[in-house]
């Protein structure tokens, strides 16, 4: 099956969008999935965002999309530090979300084991690959520098 799948928010609900050329056989196969729906306005099929569907379409599992326990605790400590330094609430949210993204990427490592090479890998394998803006890249780097 020649397709592309990605996670989306469809009307505020996490779903998996599946894109492929119109083909009766493929449409019949996608309809076999529970709660498969066609979005006429967006021109894609979408399915519930479940572990089974993620595995089927080779998408990252949800538990790999969050920092590890140490990372979560560190983000809370980082927020308190920014608050004590009188950063604005918007800056605190921006920096902690940026840090969360980085620590999610490194969720298999202890924080003390994260190196400059991990930052470079994150930039190349995540930020550049997904074509994030240079301003977002700068926010990430600034939050990482401030955190470490």
Looking at residue 95, what is its pLDDT? 94
Q: Checking phi first, is residue 46 left (phi over 0); if not, alpha (psi -120 to 50) or beta? A: beta
Looking at residue 8, what is its pLDDT? 87
Average pLDDT, the chain: 89
Q: Is 47 exposed, middle or buried (0-12, 13-18, 19+ CB in 10 A)?
A: buried
Q: Is 71 exposed, middle or buried (0-12, 13-18, 19+ CB in 10 A)?
A: buried
Do residues 18 and 45 make contact, with C-beta atoms less than 8 angstroms apart? yes
**pLDDT tens per residue across span 79-113:** 999 999 999 999 999 999 899 989 988 888 899 99
**pLDDT tens per residue across span 136-145:** 899 899 999 9
Looking at residue 115, what is its pLDDT? 93
Taking residues 41-66, what's their average pLDDT? 83
* CA–CA separation, 1 and 60 (whole Å): 19
DSSP-H helix ranges across 48-122? 51-56, 69-84, 89-105, 116-122
* CA–CA separation, 15 and 6 (whole Å): 9
Distant-in-sequence, close-in-space partners of 82: CB < 8 Å, separation ≥ 6? 91, 92, 95, 96, 146
Confidence tier at 20 by pLDDT (50, 70, 90): very high
More confident residue, 80 or 51: 80
Taking residues 114-124, what's their average pLDDT? 91
Q: Please check the confidence at residue 62 and state whether its pLDDT lies above 80.
A: no
Looking at residue 1, what is its pLDDT? 57
pTM over 0.75: no
């Amino acid at each position: 099956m020649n397709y592309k799948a990605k996670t989306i928010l469809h009307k505020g609900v996490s779903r998996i969008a599946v894109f492929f050329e119109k083909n009766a056989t493929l449409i019949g196969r996608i309809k076999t999935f529970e709660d498969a729906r066609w979005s006429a306005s967006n021109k894609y099929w979408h399915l519930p965002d479940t572990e089974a569907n993620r595995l089927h379409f080779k998408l990252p599992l949800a538990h790999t999309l969050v920092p590890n326990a140490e990372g979560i605790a560190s983000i809370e400590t980082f927020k308190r530090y920014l608050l004590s330094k009188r950063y604005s609430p918007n800056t605190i949210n921006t920096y902690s979300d940026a840090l969360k993204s980085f620590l999610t990427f490194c969720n298999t490592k202890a924080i003390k084991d994260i190196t400059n090479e991990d930052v470079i890998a994150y930039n190349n394998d995540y930020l550049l690959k997904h074509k994030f803006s240079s301003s977002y890249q700068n926010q990430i780097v600034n939050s990482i520098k401030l955190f470490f």
